[in-house]
């Protein structure tokens, strides 16, 4: 504002000076001083010409600078002219916008670099009137599908018709599905496709993520193996370390010429400890064998209510001992084709977990409910305990993970494997500080 005020002042002073010169020339003419009057008019002409070029210069600078801003052309350098009394604010605005654009360009480069390092195919489309332009395609997408980084949807469609047809059939809406796409014109791979749509500052974007099923499975398998090896190594070390230490101690004792009564007692104690640790190690190995050698289900027809009642009958003594009320809220009956012994084992495992969850609560209740949706049956088992802690939610299905001192840590893992072998799934949810295990079976 200060520089604009100075510009206005200079224009105003020039105008006053011209008016004064005109008045002076007219005054000289009225007094018949013609030569002086002509000289005054010549000065007025020169002042007018000077003022014209002065205004033109200001307008040209404004036009050039504002034009550069509108066209995102920040190649000019006005850093030395920030103190210009006429256009200082304009140059400061230009440099500010230039700095922001450079910052935005740096961010774009970083974001694109991150996207290009991700081993997932990513393509972002931008809506342009009735058509779509390719806003971004990461390197993985381009290299994996051997597609050049095209700029138009129609060009991409020529390269990957299967993908583009699937997206067009859904009307460029949010979807998550599997898709078979021919890769390298040789073989077909199955991909997980997930899309989303977003509108930002009036611009419509459509984001497509493609991940190979093989990559997804490998990642999950690797993660599962790492977690499993951590648990196994931890459990083995917990047993082998004290056994080795005790063995060294026994070796020292038996190498003595005479064994005192005190040493004999140490030997008895060490052998007992080694036996207990060996028993725990044997149970651990047996538990692992149960998981690794789970037999295929021998399916037969059985009523849902009979399955529930058989499991509750086995658990009744434990319920009575712990004063737990079990409420069966299943209002219907349905015939299932399952391995009844394996499903009963799952129900017993889940009910046993409920019993342990209710040890330190006043209100000891277990609720069993079910609902049928299409060809799926969902069995819900809820207890009034304090729920599963947030920190261990992602660990409860890991083999040998347990929060109980005497627990083996294979109950939930074995139950999950059994349900998955039946073509269903086992999951849980925490609501209102209560845990509900959900068994999904094909009905």
pLDDT in tens, 298-357: 889 999 999 999 888 888 888 888 888 998 988 888 888 888 888 888 898 888 888 888
Mean pLDDT of 196-210: 86
pLDDT at 44: 81
Read off the tokens for 351.
């009910």
Which segment, 64-78, 92-106, 371-385, is predicted with the most confidence on average? 371-385
For the whole model, what pTM was predicted? Answer: 0.42
Q: Calculate ∠ Cα 248-249-253, nearest 5°.
A: 115
Rounded Cα gap, residues 366 and 238, in angstroms: 35
Mean pLDDT of 411-432: 82
Mean pLDDT of 345-372: 87
Asked which of 19-23, 402-406, 417-421 is least confident by mean pLDDT, the reply is: 402-406
Which segment, 183-197, 201-215, 233-247, 362-376, is predicted with the most confidence on average? 362-376
Half-sphere exposure of 328 (CA within 13 A, CB side): 14
Summarize pLDDT for 344-353 with one digit per residue, the tens. Answer: 888 988 888 8
| Burial state string for 201-236 with b = 16 or more CB within 10 A and e = fewer than 16 | eeeebbbbbbbbeeeeeeeeeeeeeeebeebeeebe
Does residue 281 have a pLDDT over 70? no
Written in H, E and C, the secondary structure of 182-243 is: EECCCEEEEEEEEEEEEEECCEEEEEEEEEEHHHHHHHHHHHHHHHHHHHHHHHHHHHHHHH
pLDDT at 402: 63
More confident: 54 or 239? 54
Confidence of residue 368 (pLDDT cuts 50, 70, 90): very high
More confident: 285 or 412? 412
Give the list of residues 6+ apart from residue 92 with CB closer than 8 angstroms, or none: 82
Confidence of residue 369 (pLDDT cuts 50, 70, 90): very high
Rounded Cα gap, residues 122 and 124, in angstroms: 7
Mean pLDDT of 228-242: 64
Mean pLDDT of 245-265: 72
Q: Calculate ∠ Cα 129-133-137, nearest 5°.
A: 155
Does residue 67 have a pLDDT over 60? yes
Mean pLDDT of 47-74: 76
Closest by CA to 224, choosing from 87, 413, 423, 17, is 413
| Burial state string for 87-111 with b = 16 or more CB within 10 A and e = fewer than 16 | bbebbbebbeebeeeeeeeeeeeee
pLDDT at 4: 54
**Residue 329, helix vs strand vs coil:** coil
Residue 336 forms beta bridges with which residues?
302
Contact criterion met (CB below 8 Å) for 436 and 367: no
Q: Return the CATH superfamily for domain 119-213.
A: PAS domain (3.30.450.20)
Rounded Cα gap, residues 334 and 362, in angstroms: 34
What are the extents of the domains in the chain?
A: 2-96, 119-213, 217-292, 300-442
Confidence of residue 97 (pLDDT cuts 50, 70, 90): confident
Percent of the chain with pLDDT over 70: 76
Q: What is the mean pLDDT of the chain?
A: 77
Does residue 429 have a pLDDT over 70? yes
Does residue 2 have a pLDDT over 50? no
Mean pLDDT of 175-195: 72
Asked which of 124-133, 147-156, 251-260, 368-377 is least confident by mean pLDDT, the reply is: 251-260
Mean pLDDT of 436-443: 85
pLDDT at 1: 44
Confidence of residue 215 (pLDDT cuts 50, 70, 90): low
pLDDT at 50: 83
Contact criterion met (CB below 8 Å) for 375 and 442: yes
More confident: 245 or 113? 113
Confidence of residue 409 (pLDDT cuts 50, 70, 90): low
Percent of the chain with pLDDT over 90: 2
Q: Does domain 300-442 have CATH number 3.40.50.2000?
A: no
More confident: 142 or 432? 142
Specify the long-range contacts of residues 73-81, CB closer than 8 Å, at least 24 apart.
74/98, 74/101, 74/102
First CA to last CA distance, the chain: 77
* Cβ neighbours of 416 (radius 10 Å): 20
Q: Residue 319: in which H helix or E strand, if any?
A: helix 304-321
pLDDT at 80: 54
More confident: 410 or 19? 19
Contact criterion met (CB below 8 Å) for 41 and 49: no
* Cβ neighbours of 296 (radius 10 Å): 8
Rounded Cα gap, residues 94 and 82, in angstroms: 10
Rounded Cα gap, residues 125 and 132, in angstroms: 6
């Amino acid at each position: 504002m200060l520089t604009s005020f100075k510009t206005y002042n200079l224009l105003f002073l020039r105008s006053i000076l011209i008016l004064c010169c005109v008045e002076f020339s007219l005054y000289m003419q009225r007094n018949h001083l013609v030569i002086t009057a002509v000289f005054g008019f010549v000065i007025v002409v020169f002042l007018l010409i000077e003022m014209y070029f002065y205004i033109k210069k200001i307008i040209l600078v404004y036009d050039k600078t504002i034009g550069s801003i509108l066209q995102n052309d920040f190649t000019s350098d006005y850093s030395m002219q920030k103190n210009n009394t006429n256009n200082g604010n304009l140059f400061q605005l230009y440099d500010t916008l230039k700095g922001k654009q450079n910052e935005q360009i740096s961010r774009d480069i970083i974001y694109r670099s991150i996207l290009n390092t991700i081993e997932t195919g990513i393509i972002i489309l931008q809506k342009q009137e009735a058509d779509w332009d390719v806003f971004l395609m990461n390197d993985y997408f381009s290299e994996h599908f051997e597609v050049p980084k095209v700029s138009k949807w129609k060009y991409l469609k020529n390269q990957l018709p299967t993908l583009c047809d699937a997206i067009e059939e859904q009307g460029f809406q949010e979807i998550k599905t599997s898709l078979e796409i021919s890769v390298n014109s040789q073989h077909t791979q199955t991909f997980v496709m997930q899309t989303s749509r977003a509108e930002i500052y009036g611009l419509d974007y459509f984001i497509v993520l493609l991940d190979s099923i093989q990559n997804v499975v490998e990642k999950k398998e690797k993660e599962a193996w790492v977690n499993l090896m951590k648990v196994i190594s931890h459990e083995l070390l917990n047993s082998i370390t004290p056994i080795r230490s005790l063995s060294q101690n026994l070796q020292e004792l038996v190498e003595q010429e005479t064994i005192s009564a005190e040493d004999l007692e140490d030997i008895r104690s060490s052998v007992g400890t080694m036996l207990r640790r060996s028993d725990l190690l044997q149970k651990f190995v047996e538990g692992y064998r149960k998981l690794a050698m789970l037999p295929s289900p021998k399916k037969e027809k059985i009523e849902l209510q009979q399955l529930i009642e058989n499991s509750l009958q086995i658990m009744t003594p434990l319920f009575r001992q712990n004063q737990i009320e079990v409420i069966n809220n299943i209002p219907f009956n349905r015939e299932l084709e399952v391995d009844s012994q394996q499903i009963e084992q799952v129900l017993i495992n889940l009910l046993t977990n409920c019993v342990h969850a209710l040890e330190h609560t006043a209100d000891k209740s277990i609720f069993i409910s079910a609902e049928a949706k299409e060809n799926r049956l969902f069995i819900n088992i809820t207890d009034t305990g304090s729920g599963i802690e947030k920190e261990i939610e992602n660990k409860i299905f890991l083999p040998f993970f347990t929060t109980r001192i005497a627990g083996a840590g294979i109950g939930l893992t074995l139950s999950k494997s059994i349900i998955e072998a039946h073509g269903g799934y086992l999951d849980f949810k925490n609501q209102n500080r209560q845990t509900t295990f959900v068994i999904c079976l094909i009905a």
